Amino acid sequence: MSNVPEIFASQVFNDHVMRQRLPKDIYKALKKTVQMSKPLDKSIANVVASAMKDWAIERGVTHYTHWFQPLTSVTAEKHDSFISPLGDGSVILEFSGKELVQGESDASSFPSGGLRATFEARGYTAWDPTSYAFIKDNTLCIPTAFYSYGGEALDKKTPLLRSMDAINEQALRILRLFGKTDVKRVVTTVGPEQEYFLVERDMFHKRKDLIYTGRTLFGAMPPKGQEMDDHYFGTIKPRVAAFMKELDDELWKLGVLAKTEHNEAAPAQHELAPIFTTTNIAADHNELTMELMQKIAHKHGLACLLHEKPFAGVNGSGKHNNWSLSTDDGANLFEPGESPIENAQFLLFMAAVIKAVDEYQELLRISVATAGNDHRLGAAEAPPAIISMFLGEELEAVLSAIVNEDDDYVHHGKEDFEVGVSVLPKISKDATDRNRTSPFAFTGNKFEFRMLGSASSISDANVVLNTIVAEALCQFADALELSPTVEEDLHNVIQATIVKHKRILFSGDSYSKEWEEEAKRRGLYNLKTTAEALPHFVSEKNVKLFTKHRIFTEVEMHSRLEILMENYNKTVNIEALTALEMIKKEIIPAVCAYMKDLGETASYKQGLNVNISNALELKILSKLSNLSSALFTKAEKLERDMKKIPAEDVKGRADYYKDVIIPDMQAAREIADELETLVGESYWPYPTYGDLLFGVK
Ligand code: ADP
Ligand code: MG
C-alpha cells in the first residue's frame, strides 16, 4: 500500500514546498502575483528558480523543460540540463530566473496556421506561475505558455488564461452590483471525466490502423458487444486494477486529484474522474493524465486508446467537462443561495449561461470538433451535434414562473424563497442529473458539457465557455451598471433573457430523431461534421466576440482555423492511406490464401473422384471471389479519388475529404467486414474486435 498523503504531490513544487523553501517576502510576492495573475518580477524569479533547482536536484533531477501545449494534440517539451561550465573543465548546476520565466524555442516545426509566413520562426515560452512546476521522468517541468515573436499565441494555454481573465473581469462587475466588493477574483473550475479503452499491447501492434490512426478502420462486430450491460461498473480485472493503481499513484505524485476509476459501458472501456480544480490546472492535469495513461498501460502490457471512436458499433469515449464559477472566498456562483438577493444573483448567472449557449452554439460545437469526434456525436451513444441545455424540472419551473410573472409560484411544498418578484425553490441535486442525453446539463451547482472527445485537450471548450459567458455577463453589467433601479431591472433582464433564449432549453431525449426535427424548427444549429462546423469560427460575430475580450486577435483566429482544418484533412488522409495499405497488403492477400486452400481442397477432392459441382469449398470460394474483387474495385476508387484531392484552399479539401474520401472508405470497409466473417480465423491478418474488446484477461 502506498502512503497516499505522503506521496501526494511529492513531485510538485507547490504552495506547501514554496512556503518551506522561499524567503517569506519572496513567497508573499510570488503568491500575490499568482492570485492576481500579474507578471512576475525578475528579482523574485531568480530566488524562486534557485529554490526550485535545489529542490529538484535533491530528487535526482538533472534537466529542466518548458512544458507547453502547442496546437497539435500532444504536449511538447525540450530538455535542457542545469549544467553550466566553470571554465576550468568543471561544471556547476544552475537555473536562473530568466530560464524559469522565459524560454526560446524554434517554433518552425509546430503548427502556426500561416503566422510563420509573416512572423519570425522563433517561439517563446513563458512560465504560467498559476500552475505548479513538477518532476516527470527526472526532468523539472515548468508549465508554460507558447507564443510567437510577434506575440501571437501558438498554444492552447494562452487563450485559456486570457479567457479566465475575461470571465473574472465581467463576473466581478456583476458581483459588485450585488455589493460583493470584497471578492477579489472569480475563477472557473473544471473536473474532466476521462474515458479510455485498454487493449492488449501485442494486439495493438498487429493493427496498422490502431498504430497509425488510433482507431480501427475495419472490423466486424463480435457475437457479443455491450448489449448485456455487464461491463458498466462491473468488477475490474486484475491487470486493469493493477494499471489503475499505478496510474493513481503516479498521478497523485504529480498532485493530480484522481478520484474515481471505474469500468464504462463498452467492454474494455474505463473512466477516470479527478476532483475539480482551477481550469488551467485542470487542463494541465488532464494532459498529464492522458500521457501517463499511455505510458503506464505500456508497462502493463496494455495499450491505452484515447481515440473518440476506436471501434465502430461500440460506444466511443468522451470527456465530460464539469464547469463552474467560484469566488476567491470559495463561493460557488451556481449554488442557489439562502436569501432573495443571493437567488437573484444565481438566476442572473444562470441567465448568462443560457444566453451564452444559445447565442454561441456554433462555437461550442467547434470547440469539440475533430475528425475523431465526428464519429461519436450523434451516434446514439453521445450527444448529437445539436447544442441544447438541460436545467432540470425545478429550475425550468422557476424560469417559466419568472416569464409568466407567476408571483404565487410555490414549488412542491418545499422550502422556497423570494427573488425579486418571483420565488426560487431549493434545487435538489438529484433532480438535475436525470437527463444523461443532454449535451449541456446543469447538474446541481455546475454545468456538464458532454460533447468533448476523449483525445482532445479541454482547453478549447473552456476557452469558448469562459468567453461566451463573459460576454453575456458583460452585456448584463453594461445594462445594470447604468440603471437607477437595479432590483427591478434585474428581474427584467432575467425575464427578457429567458424569453429570448428559451429555445435552447430541452429536457427530452436528445438522442431521438424527433429532437433533430424539433431543433430544426427552433432554428438551432446542427453542424454534423467538423468540416461543416469549422468555417463558422471566423464569422463576423465570433471575431467580434474574441477580439473584444482579447482572447484572440483576428490574425490568431484565422491561423487557428487553418490549423484545425489542416488537422482534419491530415487525419482523414492518413486514415485513407492506412485503409488502402491494409486492403492491398493484408486483407486481399489473406482472402487469396484462404481461396487458394479452398481451391486446392476442391481439386484434391476431384482427384479422388469426388463430385465437386456442389462442393462447399467452391461456394465459399465464389463468394469470396466476388467480394474480394468488389473490395478491390472500392479500393481502386478510393485510390483514384485520393489523387483528385483539390489543391486549392483548406476548406475545399476538408469538404472533399468529408464528401468523397470518408464515404469511399466506408464503402470499402463494409465489404472488408463482410469478408472477415467468411474467412477462416487463422487466415485473418490482424486481431478482431472480439480479440481486442475481450482479450484483456
Ligand atoms: P458524474 O458526472 O459521474 O455523476 P459527479 O457529479 O460526482 O460525477 O462529478 C463529476 C465531476 O464534476 C467530478 O470531476 C467533480 O469533481 C466535478 N465537479 C464537482 N463540482 C464541481 C465544480 N463546482 N466545478 C467543476 N467541477 C465540479
Ligand atoms: Mg459525468
Q: Where are the beta strands (DSSP E) in 284-392?
A: 302-305, 319-327, 389-390
Average pLDDT of the chain? 90
Q: Mutate which of 437, 446, 448, 450 to test ligand 1's pocket (most atoms within 8 Å of Cβ)?
A: 446
Distance 253 CA to ligand 2 centre (A): 25
Q: How confident is the model at residue 416 (pLDDT cuts 50, 70, 90)?
A: very low
Q: Can you tell me which atom of ligand 1 is nearest the CA of 443?
A: 6
Distance 449 CA to ligand 2 centre (A): 9
For the chain, the helix, strand and coil percentages under 3-state DSSP, each to the nearest 5: 50, 15, 35
SS3 of 55-93: the string is HHHHCCCCEEEEEECECCCCCECCEEECEEECCCCCEEE
Q: Can you tell me which atom of ligand 1 is nearest the CA of 190?
A: 25
Full-model pTM: 0.94
Length of the chain: 697
SS3 217: coil
Identify the residue whose C-alpha is closest to ligand 1 atom 11: 191
Please write the tens of the pLDDT for every residue from 438-461: 999 999 899 999 999 999 999 999
Q: Where are the beta strands (DSSP E) in 427-472?
A: 440-442, 447-449
Mean pLDDT of 575-593: 98
Q: Is the pLDDT of residue 579 over 70?
A: yes
User: 307 near 215, Cβ under 8 Å?
Assistant: yes
The bound ligand whose nearest atom lies closest to the alpha carbon of 323 is 1
Residue 648 pLDDT: 77
Distance 246 CA to ligand 2 centre (A): 23
Alpha carbon distance 466, 550 (integer Å)? 12
Distance 178 CA to ligand 2 centre (A): 32
Q: Can you tell me which atom of ligand 1 is nearest the CA of 193?
A: 14
Q: Is the pLDDT of residue 281 over 90?
A: yes
User: 159 near 460, Cβ under 8 Å?
Assistant: no
Please write the tens of the pLDDT for every residue from 80-97: 899 888 888 888 888 999
Q: Can you tell me which atom of ligand 1 is nearest the CA of 273?
A: 14
Domains of the chain, earliest start first = 4-155 (3.10.20.70), 163-416+426-552 (3.30.590.10), 569-694 (1.20.120.1560)
Looking only at the bridges linking them, the beta strands covering 302-305 and 389-390 are unpaired
The bound ligand whose nearest atom lies closest to the alpha carbon of 452 is 2
Q: Is the pLDDT of residue 165 over 90?
A: yes
User: 381 near 315, Cβ under 8 Å?
Assistant: yes
Please write the tens of the pLDDT for every residue from 16-71: 999 999 999 999 999 888 777 677 788 899 999 999 999 999 999 999 999 999 88
Residue 430 pLDDT: 54
The bound ligand whose nearest atom lies closest to the alpha carbon of 272 is 1
Q: Which residues line ligand 1 (CB under 6 A)?
A: 189-191, 193, 273-276, 320, 322-324, 332, 443, 445-446
Residue 423 pLDDT: 46
The single-letter DSSP state of residue 380 is S
User: 386 near 510, Cβ under 8 Å?
Assistant: yes
Distance 144 CA to ligand 2 centre (A): 29
CA dihedral 628, 630, 633, 634 (to 10 degrees): -100
Distance 197 CA to ligand 1 centre (A): 21
Beta bridge partners of 68: 76
Residue 120 pLDDT: 61
Please write the tens of the pLDDT for every residue from 184-241: 999 999 999 999 999 999 999 999 999 999 999 999 998 887 777 777 777 888 999 9
Query: Percentage of the chain surpassing pLDDT 70?
Result: 94
Q: Mutate which of 190, 276, 289 to test ligand 1's pocket (most atoms within 8 Å of Cβ)?
A: 276
Alpha helices in 360-403 (DSSP H): 361-366, 371-374, 393-403
Q: How confident is the model at residue 122 (pLDDT cuts 50, 70, 90)?
A: confident
Q: Out of 104-113, 140-149, 244-253, 683-692, which region has the weakest mean confidence (pLDDT)? A: 104-113
Residue 116 pLDDT: 59
Task: Please measure the distance between the N-terminal and C-terminal CA atoms of the chain and give it in whole angstroms.
Answer: 23
Mean pLDDT of 573-593: 98
Please give the grid coordinates belonging to residue 588.
486481399
Please write the tens of the pLDDT for every residue from 529-553: 999 999 999 999 999 999 999 999 9
Q: How confident is the model at residue 429 (pLDDT cuts 50, 70, 90)?
A: low
Contacts of 320 (CB under 8 A, 6+ apart): 192, 193, 448, 449, 450, 452
Please write the tens of the pLDDT for every residue from 286-309: 999 999 999 999 999 999 999 999
Q: Can you tell me which atom of ligand 1 is nearest the CA of 276?
A: 16
Please write the tens of the pLDDT for every residue from 367-415: 999 999 999 987 767 778 999 999 988 888 888 888 887 755 433 333 3
Q: Is 518 exposed, middle or buried (0-12, 13-18, 19+ CB in 10 A)?
A: middle
Please give the grid coordinates belonging to residue 136.
516527470
Q: Can you tell me which atom of ligand 1 is nearest the CA of 275?
A: 16
Q: Can you tell me which atom of ligand 1 is nearest the CA of 191?
A: 14
User: 187 near 34, Cβ under 8 Å?
Assistant: no
Radius of gyration of the chain from Cα atoms?
A: 28
Contacts of 395 (CB under 8 A, 6+ apart): 350, 427, 432, 442
SS3 418: strand
Contacts of 334 (CB under 8 A, 6+ apart): 324, 325, 346, 349, 350, 442, 445, 446, 447
Distance 193 CA to ligand 2 centre (A): 6
How many whole angstroms from its chain centre is CA 130?
A: 21
Distance 278 CA to ligand 2 centre (A): 18
Distance 307 CA to ligand 2 centre (A): 18
User: 493 near 476, Cβ under 8 Å?
Assistant: yes
Identify the residue whose C-alpha is closest to ligand 1 atom 17: 191
Residue 106 pLDDT: 72
Q: How confident is the model at residue 422 (pLDDT cuts 50, 70, 90)?
A: very low
How many whole angstroms from its chain centre is CA 162?
A: 19
Q: Is the pLDDT of residue 3 over 90?
A: no
> H or E segment at 635?
helix 616-643
Q: How confident is the model at residue 148 (pLDDT cuts 50, 70, 90)?
A: confident
Nearest CA to 254 out of 230, 220, 290, 226 is that of 290
Distance 420 CA to ligand 2 centre (A): 33
User: 402 near 498, Cβ under 8 Å?
Assistant: yes
Please write the tens of the pLDDT for every residue from 97-106: 989 988 887 7
Distance 264 CA to ligand 2 centre (A): 11
Identify the residue whose C-alpha is closest to ligand 1 atom 4: 433
Residue 111 pLDDT: 77
Alpha carbon distance 620, 45 (integer Å)? 74
Q: Can you tell me which atom of ligand 1 is nearest the CA of 445?
A: 23
Q: Can you tell me which atom of ligand 1 is nearest the CA of 322?
A: 26
Alpha carbon distance 685, 191 (integer Å)? 41
User: 624 near 595, Cβ under 8 Å?
Assistant: yes
Largest CA distance in the chain: 105
Identify the residue whose C-alpha is closest to ligand 1 atom 6: 443
Alpha carbon distance 230, 406 (integer Å)? 47
Q: Mutate which of 264, 322, 429 to test ligand 1's pocket (most atoms within 8 Å of Cβ)?
A: 322
Residue 419 pLDDT: 42
Residue 421 pLDDT: 35
